[in-house]
Structure formats: structure tokens, C-alpha cells
Amino acid sequence: MLTLASSLVLGFLLGLRHATDADHVIAVTTIVGRERHLLPAARVGALWGIGHTGAILVAGSVLIATGAVVPPAIARWLELAVGLMLIGLGAMAIGAALRSVEQPFVPVVGSGPPAVFHRRAPVAIHGRPHRHLFGGLLHVHGESGNGPDRLSWPQRLRPLLVGLMHGLAGTAAVSLLVLGTIDDPWQAIVYLAVFGLGTIGGMMLATAAIALPFTLSARRAPHVNRGLQLVAGGGSVVFGILLIHSLIAGG
């Protein structure tokens, strides 16, 4: 049996490693692909980690306290839900990338000074570019009313729910690991909390690294950025389909 100190260190390191699982990284990539700054991208990772940790801590604590295990059928359905979620996230990312294609600028007709078009990288308010006519000038803006380093409520809720689903799907494996190494229930719950902290930290680092090419291309090469979003969305759809196929074939 491991001592408490060594098990906590192991739990933190395993949490860091757990954050980089393929399905986790793919899901988060579809979300941070639309971010234009590294700070909100890191916050997306933190929110994913909080949702993931909350699910594992609550569900895992119940399993540890009762000595129960997640039935294989339920674990399988949760994994299937993750596959469907990946397909949905991928489809949303593809749709957002296609909607972000800039429309040709149409000259403003009417009295007033000549139309002058001020073009900026189309970072969206609540995820969508907006245009308005003022004083004969057509402006294309993308700055969020909340500031470039803040996330709107929909932007916060999505990674939280995605992390929650991943956490529920992973509760069975994590709880079995804890039950096999730690006898005391309270120590096992502390282990889950430390594991969750490692997951939050690992996903923050991972999302910041993942978001770097997206943030750079969004400012300097919007077409490259759009291509990256399409690749991320397509990869998520393919991975989700393969995951569901493997679960069905293995069942």
C-alpha cells in the first residue's frame, strides 16, 4: 500500500497526465479554437478541469463511501455519450468556422462622405462578427463588449459541461484505482481532490499550448485560423465516430 504523502503526489501527477488524454484534448481544442487570446483559453481549460473534478469528486466520493462500483453498462453508456458529445462539438466548430467566412464588402449608397471600410480581425461578440453603419463608415468589429480577456456565460458553461461529462465517464476507472490503493475512505476522497487539482492545472497548461497557433493565426492569418478550426472540428467528429464504433463493436 502507498503512504498518504506518496499517494497524493502520485494523484497530482496522474491528474496532470489525465488532462492530456486524447478525448479531453480534442474536446477542448474545438472550444479554444475560437479564442483570440491565451488568457481566456487557459480559463477554458480551468473551467473544463473544474467540471471534470466536480464530477469525479462527487460521484467518486459516493462510490468510495458505499463501496459500490459503476456497472459496466452504465460506464459504457457514459462513454457513448462522450462520443456523441465529441461529434456535436466538432460539428459546432465546423459550423462556426464556415460562418466566419468574411462576406464581400458592399459600398454604402446614399448621401454623406465616401464609404471607408475599416477592416479588423473578425473576433465575435458572443462568437459572431458584427457590422454597423455610422456616419457613412461601415465598421467590422470583433471586440467583445466584455473585453478580450473575459468569457461570456455561454463560453464559460460549455467547457464546464464538457468537463463534467468527461468526469462522469471517467469516474469508474479513477474510483477503482483509488479503492485498490487506499483503504481509508477520507484519504481516498482527499486523493480524488488532489487528482482533480492536477487535472485542472494540466488542462490549463494544455489549452494554453493548444490555443497558441489559433491565437497567432487569428491576428495575422484569418484563413489559416479558419482552416485550423475546420481541422479541429473534423478531428473531433472522426474521433467521436471511432469511439462510438469501438464501444459498439466491443459490446
What pLDDT was estimated at residue 14? 87
What pLDDT was estimated at residue 184? 81
- DSSP annotation of 21 reads -
SS (H, E, C) 151-183: CCHHHHHHHHHHHHHHHHHHHHHHHHHHHHHCC
Q: Which helix (H) or strand (E) holds 133?
A: strand 130-134
> What are 148's three cell numbers?
478580450
CA distance to 116, 141, 163, 207, per residue, from 160 (Å)? 42, 28, 5, 14
What pLDDT was estimated at residue 150? 63
Pick 250 or 73 by higher pLDDT: 73
What pLDDT was estimated at residue 185? 83
What pLDDT was estimated at residue 251? 64
Task: State CA 225 to chain mean position distance.
Answer: 17
* pLDDT band (50, 70, 90) for residue 64: confident
What pLDDT was estimated at residue 199? 93
SS (H, E, C) 46-108: HHHHHHHHHHHHHHHHHHHHHCCCCCHHHHHHHHHHHHHHHHHHHHHHHHHHHHCCCCCCCCC
Residue 166 scores a pLDDT above 80: yes
Residue 139 scores a pLDDT above 60: no
Summarize pLDDT for 177-207 with one digit per residue, the tens: 666 667 788 888 888 899 999 999 999 999 9
Q: Whose CA is closest to 240, among 30, 14, 19, 15?
A: 30
Q: What is the pTM of this model?
A: 0.76
Task: State CA 155 to chain mean position distance.
Answer: 10
Q: Whose CA is closest to 109, among 86, 129, 82, 138?
A: 138
Per the DSSP assignment, residues forming a β-bridge with 134 are 137
Mean pLDDT confidence for 123-151? 46
Summarize pLDDT for 73-118 with one digit per residue, the tens: 888 999 999 999 999 999 999 998 888 765 444 444 444 444 444 4
Mean pLDDT confidence for 158-167? 92
- DSSP annotation of 128 reads B
* pLDDT band (50, 70, 90) for residue 140: very low
Per the DSSP assignment, residues forming a β-bridge with 128 are 125
Q: Whose CA is closest to 89, among 242, 238, 248?
A: 238
Q: Which helix (H) or strand (E) holds 138?
A: strand 137-141
